[in-house]
Amino acid sequence: MADYSQFEAGTKSGIHADTTRIRKHDELIGKALKRRSSSICCFVVSLMLAVGVSIILKSFIPAVGFGLASAFFLWRLWGTGVSENYMKEVYEEGLLVPGLVVNTQPLTIMAIANMVAYDGVPVVNACRKLVVKELDGAKKELYEKIPCSCFFCYDGGSYHLNFEPHPLFWGTDSQQEISEALQQAETDNKQNPQDEWEVLKRIARQYPTLADGEMILLDENYAPFGRKKYYESRYKPLNLDTAQDEYRNILQRSSEITGKEDEGIPFLEQEIPGKDVYNRMIALACRFDVYKYISSHCELGHFVNSEHPGLFTYIGDPVDFLKEFHDSGMALDEGEYPLIYEKYLITTKGCYNEDKKLQPWDKVNFSIRFTVLNGMMLFMNETKIAEFKGQFEDTGRMESLSDPEQEMELHKEAVRIIEFLRELKLDFSGRIL
């Protein structure tokens, strides 16, 4: 089993662990004990075969293979020991975290824990699903709160690789100790930005097909961004649509434009045709923190290239933008204004395809795909219309992050961009211009 002793829990369970009960009920430790028993049997059998073959065949060569096998099982046996002290540490020294019964058939618990290993990095929480056979002492009712003690698995980097939630019911039969631990968990929960019991309930509903041992990764706002198995080092980014509603709610609550907030927005001052239109786009871009992507100069115009610093707009370079638009030969209706010009032209009325035919807003869907190496690719109706690099305020910090951490940061950028474009669509699709 992994050594988790390097991690000191902020809040501990406070229970007095019963090792006899742990051996009987803890299903995670039980798996380690079964592996140990299996290794013992395999070691004995391999050793007997090595001796037997060497005697019968009077040759040591065939016995070498069995000898190596026995050595392997001996090594495995050494690594699967579960001491009495370790069992007690799991429950008495581990971090106290919220757990929740999210299904009764089969009996399923979901727990949440902060995965940050070092201070100074963005908060990442993880919800892990745990299917259990029994939970002696619990009511086993849907959405019953189950306090857990968790240990972390660390594999390098700024975040823990995994966490193991051990329901306190496995470690003690004292209802008073469990009740006190639950009360402590409730107290700790009040310090969180959101009610983590409700977060667990929401994630369980949102991901009903999550497998046993799988984890959903959440950002500092408890918005899901990745999915992984507990033993995997890399995560699979979730579909950007998954986080759409949550991000929209968060951004509307925290960044909704008011008269006071307008003071910091770089609105266009000069009187130009479409001034109000461009200022609405600027306001939306600032609201979603993507202004940097529409205000960057793009020397290559509308040609798709990975070196694009951002989306090509009038705001980024009025002269080049209008020149590119003029040279394209596109003719717009009265009151229609160009917004973004990459491979296709995006206007206040919709998007023009490669045949220069207008697709109204209700026929347009945006999506973004990305990699750490190649940056972001913007798609309209499954057709790529732009490629550009992610722009981060602290480039030096990004370079110091691991690939999975960089992928997480890029995912956040992609979500903000796609939300901006979807809000742009909503803003102009219902307007008479």
Please tell me the predicted confidence (pLDDT) of residue 318: 85
- Amino acid 386 reads A
DSSP 231: T
CA-CA distance, 139 to 303, in Å (whole number)? 62
Kindly report the average pLDDT of the chain as a whole number. 78
CA-CA distance, 343 to 30, in Å (whole number)? 58
SS3 339: strand
Please tell me the predicted confidence (pLDDT) of residue 239: 61
Output the pTM of the full model. 0.56
Please tell me the predicted confidence (pLDDT) of residue 36: 46
CA-CA distance, 283 to 259, in Å (whole number)? 11
CA-CA distance, 219 to 116, in Å (whole number)? 11
Q: 12-29: buried (b, 16+ CB within 10 Å) or exposed (e) per residue?
A: bbbbebbbebbeebbebb
Please count the other Cβ atoms lying within 10 Å of the Cβ belonging to residue 31. 12
Q: Which two tokens stand for residue 307?
A: 């070196």
CA-CA distance, 182 to 404, in Å (whole number)? 34
Confidence of residue 287 (pLDDT cuts 50, 70, 90): confident
Confidence of residue 263 (pLDDT cuts 50, 70, 90): low
Please tell me the predicted confidence (pLDDT) of residue 154: 77
Whole-Å CA distances, 224 to 124, 243, 397: 10, 6, 23
Res 74 pLDDT > 60: no
Give tens-digit pLDDT for 200-257: 999 999 888 899 999 999 988 898 888 898 888 778 777 654 444 444 443 443 344 3
Confidence of residue 59 (pLDDT cuts 50, 70, 90): low
CA-CA distance, 386 to 308, in Å (whole number)? 8
Res 148 pLDDT > 90: yes
Please tell me the predicted confidence (pLDDT) of residue 171: 94
CA-CA distance, 317 to 329, in Å (whole number)? 19
CB 129 within 8 A of CB 211: yes
174/29: higher pLDDT: 174
How far is C-alpha 245 from the chain's CA centre? 16
Give tens-digit pLDDT for 36-47: 444 445 444 454
Q: Which two tokens stand for residue 402?
A: 């691991």
Residue at token pair 């201070």: 119
Please state whether the peptide bond connecting residue 360 to the residue before it is cis, i.e. omega within 30 degrees of 0: no
Mean predicted confidence (pLDDT) in 146-164: 86
CB 1 within 8 A of CB 162: no
Among 75-89, 156-170, 183-197, 367-381, the range scoring the smallest mean pLDDT is 75-89
Please tell me the predicted confidence (pLDDT) of residue 50: 52
Q: What is the DSSP string of 58-107?
A: S-SHHHHHHHHHHHHHHHHHHHT---HHHHHHHHHTSEEE-EEEEEETTE
166/318: higher pLDDT: 166
Q: Which residues contact 170 (CB under 8 A, 6 or more apart)?
A: 21, 22, 25, 26, 27, 91, 135, 136
CA-CA distance, 345 to 280, in Å (whole number)? 18
Give tens-digit pLDDT for 374-417: 778 888 888 888 887 777 766 667 777 777 777 778 888 888 88
Res 125 pLDDT > 90: yes
Rounded to 5 degrees, φ, ψ at 163 are -135, 145
Confidence of residue 126 (pLDDT cuts 50, 70, 90): very high
Please tell me the predicted confidence (pLDDT) of residue 32: 61
SS3 200: helix
CB 386 within 8 A of CB 368: no
Give tens-digit pLDDT for 323-365: 888 888 888 888 888 998 888 889 999 988 878 888 888 888 8
Give tens-digit pLDDT for 86-95: 889 889 989 9
